[in-house]
Structure 1
Amino acid sequence: MSDLEALAAEAYVYGFPMVFNLNEVDRFTREGMGSLQASPFNGFSHAIGLAGPKDTFVSVNNDTVYSIAQIDLSGGPLMLRVPDTDGRYYVLQFVDAWTNNFAYVGRRATGTAAGSYLLTGAGWSGEVPAGVTRIAAPTAVATIVGRWACDGPGDLAAVQALQQGTTLEPLDPATSPPAGLPAPQDGVDGSELLFFEKLRTWMRAFPPSAPDRAYQERFAPLGLLDETTPYAAASTETTQALTSGHRLGKERVEYATTHSGSPEQNGWKLTYHAFDYNLDFFETGALNTPPVGDRGQGRRPHRACRLRPRWTVG
């Protein structure tokens, strides 16, 4: 294996969570997912029934009803309002472009009284309205995954009323439309090179924490730090290295998902700490608990192999 192939494999493992995640964010806004209808950025899509055999949502359960929103803060802050659930369990989970879980709103984190939350970009410096809690998203594009406890079909009407009372709206009515996901540049052929072009494009649009940005410098020889795509006219040597690295990285991710050190019971992997890889962003409800690993102990493979099971693979 050449040095460039090895670096490409490492970049695949590092970048897979974001590329896979944002592919699914894009698909959700256009096609929806299962019983959840497509919804544009900054609007909720609410499931109207309990999950059944035809729902292919990964790790789906049958005692909660889902509400999902893809948010884009490029045009300005959003106001999130949640109703009083009168003690009913619910959770809104906030996930950035890199799949870090950076905030939670719900019974365990904030209680069940009605609340208002201002969702902003990380660098926003405006005034937060009185009585409103700010949640700063690490990346302009993020996802809200909502779950509402439901005690069977007879409880659906009450859940649906709570869903309709959960709203997103711009803080400023004159806010610019969301920019959406930047598209990879044209002229890049092949799924392997397109993966790296998406990673290059989205790394620039959604930079991670400062330590991760420093880590990304190692990928400069692959062209991942270039301002414009180097992959439309890549040399034969580079194309071969990226293609081989893509294959090797994919094999590593797939192996790690089935050969992790997690305990097993009756054939099931018990991944109690599968999401504990956020080292940098702790907004409302997010606990700064000891992570799965750290930057000096193989954290990147942990993160890539523990991609949150929110989306259907395939």
Structure 2
Amino acid sequence: MKNHLLLASFLTLSISWGYGSAKQVDSPLTPKEAYKLAKEAYIFSFPLLMNYRTMHMQAIDENSKFYNGGFGKWRSYDPASPENQDVVTPNIDTPYSFAWVDLRQEPWVLTLPKIDTARYYTSQWNDLWGFVLDNPGSIKDGNEGGNFLLAGPNWKGKKPEGIKRIIQGESSFLGSLTRTEFLGNNDLDNLSQIQKNYKLQPLSAFLGKTAPKPAAKIEWLQWKEEDLHTDAVFTYVNFLLSLTKPNAADQAILHRIAKLGIIGGKPWQPEKLDPKVREYVQQGIIDATSLIEEGAKESKNSSSFFGNRETMQNEYLHRAVGVYAGMFSNTADQAFYIPWDTDAEGHYLDGSKYAYEITFPANGAPPVKYFWSITMYSLTDHFLVANPIHRYSINSRNPIVKEKDGAMTIFISHRSPGKDKELNWLPTPKGPFYMVLRTYGPSTSIVDEKWEMPVVKAVPAHSALMGSIYHMLNWFSSDH
């Protein structure tokens, strides 16, 4: 009842912003039509749901282990580990700093510190639709730091003095995943100091003026993971649409799904649907989920999944696949991601069946301005893989051993390939996995897919085991 009252309170705002009509369409829905609309609505709204899930655990739910203190607060992490599970496909090379801001009352100001010139950093800001709005930092601005204005969709003020540029999205809440390059175990203090110098403050505080009247209090919907795969999910969608400003490019789909009762600010009332229609709505959600999952499996690089409104346009499935595959993944000018989930023969990677090798020929490493990395993930949950040497990625700043001709081979296996190869070893789980090649400051040859990626070569697991035994016996037979 409380949630229905909350949603109704947004009705006037939703109508003025163009979310459907005040009256739900009365013409009866056929089961087939309901299936199609539910499937379409789920894919369209999936980024809203995933961003709310993350925002809820980080900035709203005080009982969440990922809670950062509320809106306008930073929470920074040391280099990622398997215990970090607030976003899927986490990045170990550039430790994260998360923040969310509520822009209903007034804009906020982001301040980045000046940092050393050799280090990479970027403060990525997204709206609730998953659009990447901007990336203040090394590639766009250098490492001198500066102030940037974060504004809500209805703000129309002028750029204040001392502000480099304005970052504005289509929702009243924006989130940041700010990345700071980690330069090795001796760099933890430097990393921590940079993260502590990231600053957020309301515009009024930045200007030394009195703050405007507070925005209305929101009674947030409690996130329930089980709702994501039932028709209860549209309760969240109707609520979240009220926190965004509709774009003209989305008017057609907003009009269509309004017939199903998906309208910003209105309560979702599935109990009023014919039981057969409701059954088809549920099937539409199931099939939409499958489409998103399959899209992630079939993706070969990240370039089409992340961008702003102009670059993404109405590619709703691409946008959904992007947030499913990696929340807050970045645009190609910052970092280009290439997933590896099959070997040279097209078989899915599995650490229980095979060991693998990736060989970069001499002068054949990824051409980048900053660095590249290969990170290991479990296919079952998309998180980092615990292993005895606590190594979750290999990157170009590591002491990788090269062959005499300059080539380098990365050994990928559940068991050690042998002590003499462990500097180049990336451990796998004992089961299905995938890897992501990340390139920071990628060359155009990578973005245009002209750089030739090496293949993942499978080696029978027993061969890798015999190699480990051979090296162990050789060690014992030598003088130690």
- Using structure 1 for the length normalisation, give the TM-score: 0.81
Task: Identify the residue that residue 309 of structure 1 maps to in structure 2.
Answer: 326
| Alignment deviations for residues 2-30 of structure 1 (CA, whole Å, 9 cap, x no partner) | 11111111111111121122112111223
2:77 matches 1:38: no
Task: Identify the residue that residue 239 of structure 2 maps to in structure 1.
Answer: 201
Q: Distance in 2 between matches of 1:140 and 1:150?
A: 32
Task: Identify the residue that residue 128 of structure 1 maps to in structure 2.
Answer: 159
Aligned 8 A contact 2:171 2:244 in 1: yes
Task: Identify the residue that residue 94 of structure 2 maps to in structure 1.
Answer: 64
Aligned with 1:142: secondary structure?
Answer: strand
Q: Distance in 1 between matches of 2:91 and 2:54?
A: 20
Task: Identify the residue that residue 218 of structure 1 maps to in structure 2.
Answer: 256
Aligned with 1:200: secondary structure?
Answer: helix
| Alignment deviations for residues 219-267 of structure 1 (CA, whole Å, 9 cap, x no partner) | 121101264214164232443232222112112212222134x2xxxxx
Residues 55, 153 of structure 1: alpha-carbon distance in 2 compared, 3 angstrom cutoff: same
Task: Give the number of aligned pairs.
Answer: 286
Aligned residue identity for 2:53: N
Aligned 8 A contact 1:77 1:171 in 2: yes
Residues 46, 184 of structure 1: alpha-carbon distance in 2 compared, 3 angstrom cutoff: closer
Aligned residue identity for 1:101: V
Task: Identify the residue that residue 55 of structure 1 maps to in structure 2.
Answer: 84
Aligned residue identity for 1:103: D
Q: Distance in 1 between matches of 2:201 and 2:242?
A: 27
The one of 123, 134, 141 aligned to 2:173: 141
Aligned residue identity for 2:79: L
Aligned 8 A contact 2:128 2:171 in 1: yes
Q: Distance in 2 between matches of 1:103 and 1:257?
A: 24
Aligned 8 A contact 1:9 1:249 in 2: yes
Aligned 8 A contact 1:182 1:201 in 2: no
Unmatched runs of 5 consecutive residues or more in structure 1:
263-270, 281-290
Shift of 1:117: 1.1
Q: Distance in 2 between matches of 1:164 and 1:172?
A: 22
Task: Identify the residue that residue 24 of structure 1 maps to in structure 2.
Answer: 54
Task: Identify the residue that residue 104 of structure 1 maps to in structure 2.
Answer: 135
| Alignment deviations for residues 33-58 of structure 1 (CA, whole Å, 9 cap, x no partner) | 88x653311111111x2223333343
The one of 105, 117, 127 aligned to 1:75: 105
Aligned with 1:119: secondary structure?
Answer: strand
Aligned 8 A contact 1:37 1:46 in 2: no
Task: Identify the residue that residue 159 of structure 1 maps to in structure 2.
Answer: 191
2:147 matches 1:116: yes
Aligned residue identity for 1:27: M
| Alignment deviations for residues 270-310 of structure 1 (CA, whole Å, 9 cap, x no partner) | x1414345333xxxxxxxxxx46x54xxx222222222613
Q: Distance in 1 between matches of 2:173 and 2:150?
A: 11
The one of 241, 250, 253 aligned to 2:292: 253
Aligned 8 A contact 2:239 2:264 in 1: no
Aligned residue identity for 1:219: I
- Identity value in percent: 25
Residues 184, 40 of structure 1: alpha-carbon distance in 2 compared, 3 angstrom cutoff: closer
Task: Identify the residue that residue 281 of structure 2 maps to in structure 1.
Answer: 242
Q: Which moved more, 1:22-31 or 1:160-169?
A: 22-31
Aligned with 1:145: secondary structure?
Answer: strand
Aligned with 1:64: secondary structure?
Answer: coil
Aligned residue identity for 1:302: H
Residues 218, 259 of structure 1: alpha-carbon distance in 2 compared, 3 angstrom cutoff: same
Residues 141, 226 of structure 1: alpha-carbon distance in 2 compared, 3 angstrom cutoff: closer
Residues 102, 181 of structure 1: alpha-carbon distance in 2 compared, 3 angstrom cutoff: farther
Of the two structures, which has the highest relative contact order with CA contacts closer than 8 Å and spacing of 6 or more? Answer: 1
Shift of 1:71: 1.4
Aligned 8 A contact 1:43 1:168 in 2: yes
Residues 89, 176 of structure 1: alpha-carbon distance in 2 compared, 3 angstrom cutoff: farther
Shift of 1:169: 0.8
Unmatched runs of 5 consecutive residues or more in structure 2:
1-30, 206-210, 329-380, 384-480
Aligned 8 A contact 1:74 1:140 in 2: yes
- Using structure 2 for the length normalisation, give the TM-score: 0.54
Q: Distance in 1 between matches of 2:231 and 2:147?
A: 43
Residues 226, 162 of structure 1: alpha-carbon distance in 2 compared, 3 angstrom cutoff: closer
Residues 209, 245 of structure 1: alpha-carbon distance in 2 compared, 3 angstrom cutoff: same
Aligned 8 A contact 1:44 1:69 in 2: yes
RMSD: 2.8
Aligned 8 A contact 1:32 1:38 in 2: no
Residues 242, 14 of structure 1: alpha-carbon distance in 2 compared, 3 angstrom cutoff: same
Residues 98, 302 of structure 1: alpha-carbon distance in 2 compared, 3 angstrom cutoff: same
Aligned 8 A contact 1:26 1:181 in 2: no
Shift of 1:79: 1.4
Shift of 1:177: 4.8
Aligned with 1:193: secondary structure?
Answer: coil
